[in-house]
Amino acid sequence: MDGATERANRSIGQMFQALIKPDQRNWVEKSPLIKFMINASIGNVMGLAPFKINYRYMPAMMKEIRAMERTPQGVKTFAQNALKNMTLAHDTLIKDRIFQQKYTNKK
């Protein structure tokens, strides 16, 4: 494997660690969210996210839900949980990038 693949695998593993319960029974339900976060993450090389490259737009799921006047409570709860999980996954990615940068700069 090359270094980029190993770093990507480590980042994905860290996102799973941050989002999955200790009993590891909820990994299946968190997988789509992790995939979404990876596709929404802006890459270092081109400065674009996979969503932007593949579909020519960035999804804005939260914006649409906030704009709806009569959003059902279940949808609001789902959106709030998704936003919380996305924030946690995003923070994990940022921490990993900072660690990688510090490690690379040492060499």
Q: What does the pLDDT look like over 6-36, one tens digit per residue?
A: 877 888 888 888 878 888 888 888 888 788 8
Domain hosting 65: range is 3-106
Mean pLDDT score, 65-89: 70
| Non-local CB neighbours of 7 within 8 Å, separated by 6+ positions | 96, 100
Q: At residue 3, does pLDDT exceed 80?
A: no
Mean pLDDT score, 61-76: 63
What's this model's pTM, rounded to 2 decimal places? 0.52
Q: Is 99 exposed, middle or buried (0-12, 13-18, 19+ CB in 10 A)?
A: middle
Domain tally for the chain? Answer: 1
Higher pLDDT, 89 or 67: 89
Q: How far apart are CA 57 and CA 43, in angstroms?
A: 15
Higher pLDDT, 52 or 75: 52
CA 56 to chain centre: 19
In this prediction, what percent of the chain has a pLDDT beyond 70? 83
